[in-house]
Amino acid sequence: MAVDPKICVWSDLTTEHLDVIFSASTNENLLSVLADICKIEDSEDVKNQILLEFYFHTIQFAKSKGMNYAQTSSLFTIMKLVHTMCTSTPYNNNKAAFTYFKQLLVKHSLQRPPYSVGVFDVSQVQAITDYALNTYFRHFDMYKYAFTPKVRVDISFHYDGVPDTPEPVVAPEEVQPVVEQEVIEADAVEEEDPAPEPESEEMRQLRDMIQVAMGAELKQLQSRLEKLINDQDTKISRQVEALEESIGLKSGAKSPGGKKRK
């Protein structure tokens, strides 16, 4: 589902938040500040730990590039929105998420109010794109696996012409009357249970046919699932390569300055 990009300066981090963030003296202090700002209470939860690390490294990148408050606030919300799109579905949406990421960058790199604002310059846009590709989008599947519900498939078989197996009938327990000791002693010989009826040839053939058919169906299903997984991995690899090539990250591609990227 397509999502319209929006201007997100000061959406999550205000100047008051950034005063505290930029004054944090240690990594532990910064993680604690981010947990308070983002209202992440259970720090022992694995998902919360991954999310905090994601926010932490985003802030550290902004600091390393000397970004001001408005740029840091915009970058933080852009990456947060991309993560929200990634985790909105358990199915692959790598291409849609990267397109949304580029639209958000454009929204914050051109001064055309009220449609866009010039928060980032060209060099910052390239640096942010490189950072996102080398961190978040490189581990896109990991974030999706950690934050989206798993899809479970329940399989049942129905064969035309074969009657459904009836539900087993449980016979009610017989209530034995209370008798006197003399009657029990006189009737001490118990009747033997009747021997179970032998299975008919038709039922045996039907059971064997069902077992053979189920075995073949399961093998075919396993083969199709393995092929689907392999095709999906190949598709994702091709998409990532195409995305990197589209923004000039392939080996030998030139940066805007004319020099080859290492």
CB contact at 8 A, 132 and 54: no
Give the model's confidence band at 52: pLDDT under 50 very low, under 70 low, under 90 confident, else very high: very high
Q: 146 CB contacts (<8 Å, ≥6 apart)?
A: 46, 47, 50
With 80 as the cut, is the pLDDT of residue 137 above it? yes
Whether the full predicted model's pTM is greater than 0.75, yes or no, is no
CB contact at 8 A, 133 and 243: yes
Of residues 40 and 209, the one with the higher pLDDT is 40
Instruction: State the maximum Cα–Cα separation within the chain, in Å, rounded to a whole number.
Output: 112
Q: State the pLDDT at residue 71.
A: 96
Q: State the pLDDT at residue 119.
A: 95
With 70 as the cut, is the pLDDT of residue 196 above it? no
Of residues 1 and 105, the one with the higher pLDDT is 105
C-alpha span between 260 and 67 (Å, rounded): 25
Q: State the pLDDT at residue 161.
A: 67
pLDDT, averaged across the chain: 81
Q: State the pLDDT at residue 127.
A: 96
With 90 as the cut, is the pLDDT of residue 155 above it? no
Q: Which of 27-36, 85-94, 167-176, 251-260 has the lowest mean pLDDT?
A: 251-260
CA 256-258-260 angle, 5° bins: 100
Q: State the pLDDT at residue 149.
A: 78
Q: Which class for 70: exposed (0-12), middle (13-18), buried (19 or more C-beta within 10 A)?
A: middle
For the four alpha carbons of 63, 64, 70 and 73, in that order, the dihedral sign comes to: negative
CA 85-87-93 angle, 5° bins: 60
Mean pLDDT of 156-165: 68
Q: State the pLDDT at residue 253.
A: 45
Backbone angles phi, psi at 133, to 5 degrees: -65, -40
